[in-house]
């Protein structure tokens, strides 16, 4: 009797909680207070804790996150998730309308359009089978995405079971994962108080949260979902987009309350202008509207292009612009050594946000726009996020202004800056530069480099702040500072001993990893391998001339000059000698293999199932081939995994042979 009562009560509570979730998140019309909702949820939690056999996969309590994944499985979309073409003006929209009417002609009756906001988030697909949430995936490249089921389950306004007595056999709902402006500001404030790095904008935060391998982290983020379309379905009527999305809403899945249907283009344009006028009052970031032909029959007649439908378009909002004055131009040094000029502006409200600073990107950009201190400038929020100086109002320029010039020395450490031919960036490459020290040390200790465990960002920052580390070589002096380091936060005896052991192990890394660890401009893991193979020892590398670097296989003139300049800097050489004195062994590199892939050039793109990128590269190099980062006519093979990106498109354009994972495995003899 008791067991049956508990089972019925648990089912009743689940149904009540999902009902109130629907009222709160979808209808925005709650029937009970937050306290009453919490009582229902707590009762269900207690009941399931006391009787674990009552827990179901679709229970509202199962949103706390699953054990961390090693990687995301790939998910092939049954119907591609296409991107949208865009228009930016009234005339461009009317031209789109004219094309649509020409494609459809008189077929299917008069044309109706739907209009809804274009939310700035991350596109995903939710799949329900017989009313139960089955899986979810990111858009990826439109054909293949990543399965993120456990992460999506943590989002409270996504129902784990559809509302209603007769759910469809299959329903795929596509939409955007977003974060409300207020939630974003609150979350960033909490991170600031905790001394953590801030997110740049809600979209970046949403994307980063959804791609956490640990869904427990995702569960802590204030994510929401807004549906905007469907994919594959079975068991529901399919007349038009407007009708289908309202049916989706009745199933308990949130959609935009701004979704409207129009037969008159003048009314549609007036509604666009209304949303444009209200954009700053929206709870979420929006960067335009999406217009679709409503009828599915007419959509089919209009057809699709290779990557976008002919029956839909995104009408992007114009950037909000204001004028203000440049009060100062300051040069900042980033963590990777790049010098970036930043304009300090007289504060001005742009699109509901106070703007007082704007990146000027580089010297070339400032020269092109001729931006000077004292100038009156036009500012806009590019992409509704990054403040950008669009132009200078030269007529208002005060007399006596001077053209800006980048400094010849680093404003932080005083080292001579480096200008790489063919690049616009100006960089400080000194290993002693404090502005980039955290990033240099973090890179030096990373897994592909010296692989020193126990050196997270917070730890590195604390070590630098206390003066324990002034360059990468100082890491090997940390074992002598045990008493002082044990007084640091989050550093106990066990953590310290593990760090010391990891430092000791790192003294015997292979030469390519040491070269990569030094953080030489333009030298990634592949180039580090090529340098180690060509020179054999670090001593030879340090004494080589610029011309000798150019003679190494796979090393172009730009990288050759960068490596030569790095080893010509007396500060860098001093740090290397210090590493040597502290016991770091500069082992000899391996010479290139004479294997069956000798002379073959590979490019890796996307995610492979059976290999990490590093493992695949090592296999290729052991067989005599080499890996580069970009596709050209000289590329022999492109190995394409899940989410391959633009490199695959370029390979096809150039006629380069493309291998999937099975083809790669056969080529390297692993099958």
What's the CA gap between 528 and 329, in Å, rounded? Answer: 37
429: left (phi over 0), alpha (psi -120 to 50) or beta: alpha
- Which residue is it, tokens 């073959």? 600
CA distances to 140, 509, 640 from 588, rounded to whole Å, are 41, 10, 33
Longest Cα pair distance anywhere in the chain, in angstroms?
91
What's the CA gap between 63 and 154, in Å, rounded? Answer: 4
Pinpoint the alpha helices (H) of 402-468.
Answer: 437-444, 457-465
SS3 323: strand
Beta-carbon contacts of residue 345 (< 8 Å; ≥ 6 apart): 324, 325, 326, 327, 355, 356, 357, 358, 377, 379, 387
- Which residue is it, tokens 């970031």? 285
- Which residue is it, tokens 């070589």? 473
What's the CA gap between 128 and 606, in Å, rounded? Answer: 28
Pinpoint the alpha helices (H) of 420-524.
Answer: 437-444, 457-465, 482-486, 493-506, 511-517
Q: Are strands 657-659 and 637-640 parallel, antiparallel or unpaired?
A: parallel
Q: Is residue 434 among the annotated active site residues?
A: no
Are 562 and 521 in contact, with CB atoms under 8 Å apart?
A: yes
Active-site annotation holder among 86, 98, 118, 292:
118
What's the CA gap between 636 and 640, in Å, rounded? Answer: 13
What's the CA gap between 457 and 644, in Å, rounded? Answer: 30
DSSP 606: S
Helix (H) or strand (E) holding 574: helix 570-581
What's the CA gap between 40 and 13, in Å, rounded? Answer: 7
SS3 213: coil
- List the strands of the sheet with 657-659, edge to edge: 626-628, 601-605, 637-640, 657-659
What's the CA gap between 579 and 514, in Å, rounded? Answer: 11
What's the CA gap between 387 and 361, in Å, rounded? Answer: 12
What's the CA gap between 516 and 539, in Å, rounded? Answer: 15
Q: Are strands 376-382 and 321-333 parallel, antiparallel or unpaired?
A: antiparallel
What's the CA gap between 435 and 203, in Å, rounded? Answer: 28
CA distances to 31, 214, 589, 599, 626 from 596, rounded to whole Å, are 71, 40, 21, 9, 12
What's the CA gap between 340 and 332, in Å, rounded? Answer: 5
Where in the sequence numbering do the catalytic residues fall? 118
């Amino acid at each position: 009797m008791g067991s049956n009562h508990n089972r019925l009560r648990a089912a009743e509570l689940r149904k009540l909680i999902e009902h109130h979730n629907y009222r709160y998140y979808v209808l925005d019309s709650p029937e009970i207070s937050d306290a009453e909702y919490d009582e229902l949820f707590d009762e269900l939690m207690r009941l399931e804790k006391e009787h674990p056999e009552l827990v179901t996969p679709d229970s509202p309590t199962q949103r706390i996150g699953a054990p961390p994944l090693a990687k995301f499985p790939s998910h092939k979309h049954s119907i591609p998730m296409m991107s949208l073409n865009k228009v930016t003006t009234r005339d461009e929209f009317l031209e789109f309308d004219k094309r649509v009417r020409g494609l459809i002609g008189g077929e299917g009756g008069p044309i109706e359009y739907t209009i809804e906001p274009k939310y700035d988030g991350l596109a995903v697909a939710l799949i329900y089978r017989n009313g139960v949430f089955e899986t979810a995936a990111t858009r990826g490249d439109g054909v293949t995405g990543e399965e993120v089921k456990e992460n999506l389950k943590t989002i409270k306004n996504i129902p784990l079971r559809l509302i209603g007595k007769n759910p469809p056999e299959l329903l795929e709902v596509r939409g955007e994962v977003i974060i409300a402006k207020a939630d974003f500001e609150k979350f960033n404030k909490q991170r600031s108080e905790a001394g953590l790095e801030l997110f740049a904008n809600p979209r970046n935060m949403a994307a980063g949260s959804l791609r956490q391998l640990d869904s427990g982290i995702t569960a802590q983020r204030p994510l929401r979902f807004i549906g905007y379309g469907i994919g594959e379905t079975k068991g529901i009527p399919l007349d038009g987009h407007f009708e289908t999305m309202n049916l989706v809403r009745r199933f308990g899945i949130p959609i935009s309350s701004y979704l409207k249907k129009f037969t008159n283009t003048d009314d549609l344009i007036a509604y666009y202008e209304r949303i444009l006028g209200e954009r700053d009052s929206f709870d979420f970031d929006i960067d335009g509207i999406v217009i679709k032909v409503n009828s599915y029959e007419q959509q089919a007649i209009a057809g699709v292009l290779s990557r976008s439908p002919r029956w839909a378009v995104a009408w992007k909002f114009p950037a909000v612009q204001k004028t203000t004055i440049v009060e100062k131009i300051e040069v900042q040094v980033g963590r990777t050594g790049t010098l970036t000029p930043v304009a300090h502006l007289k504060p001005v409200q742009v699109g509901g946000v106070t703007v007082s600073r704007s990146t000027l990107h580089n010297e070339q950009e400032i020269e092109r726009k001729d931006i000077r201190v004292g100038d009156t400038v036009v500012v806009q929020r590019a992409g509704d996020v990054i403040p950008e100086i669009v132009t200078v109002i030269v007529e208002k320029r005060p007399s006596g202004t001077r053209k800006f010039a980048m400094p010849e020395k680093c404003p932080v450490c005083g080292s001579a800056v480096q200008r790489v031919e063919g690049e616009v960036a100006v960089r400080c490459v000194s290993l002693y530069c404090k502005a980039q020290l955290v990033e240099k040390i973090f890179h030096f200790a990373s897994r592909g480099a010296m692989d020193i465990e126990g050196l997270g960002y917070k730890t590195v920052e604390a070590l630098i702040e206390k003066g324990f580390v002034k360059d990468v070589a100082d890491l090997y002096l940390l074992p002598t500072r045990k008493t002082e380091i044990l007084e640091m936060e989050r550093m106990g005896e066990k953590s310290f001993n593990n760090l010391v052991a990891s430092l000791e192990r790192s003294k015997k890394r292979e030469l390519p990893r040491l070269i990569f660890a030094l953080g030489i401009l333009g030298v990634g893991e592949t180039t580090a391998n090529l340098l180690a193979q060509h020179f054999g020892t670090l001593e030879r590398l340090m004494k080589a001339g610029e011309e000798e670097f150019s003679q190494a296989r796979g090393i172009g003139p730009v990288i050759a000059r960068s490596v030569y300049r790095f080893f010509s800097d007396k500060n860098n050489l001093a740090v290397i000698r210090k590493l040597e004195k502290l016991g770091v062994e500069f082992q000899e590199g391996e010479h290139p293999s004479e294997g069956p892939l000798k002379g073959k050039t590979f490019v890796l793109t996307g995610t492979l199932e059976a290999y990490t990128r590093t493992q695949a590269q090592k296999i290729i190099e052991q067989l005599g081939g080499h890996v580069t980062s970009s596709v050209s006519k000289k590329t022999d093979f492109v190995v394409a995994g899940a989410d391959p990106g633009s490199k695959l498109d370029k390979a096809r354009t150039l006629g380069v042979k493309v291998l999937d994972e099975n083809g790669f495995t056969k080529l390297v003899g692993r099958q």
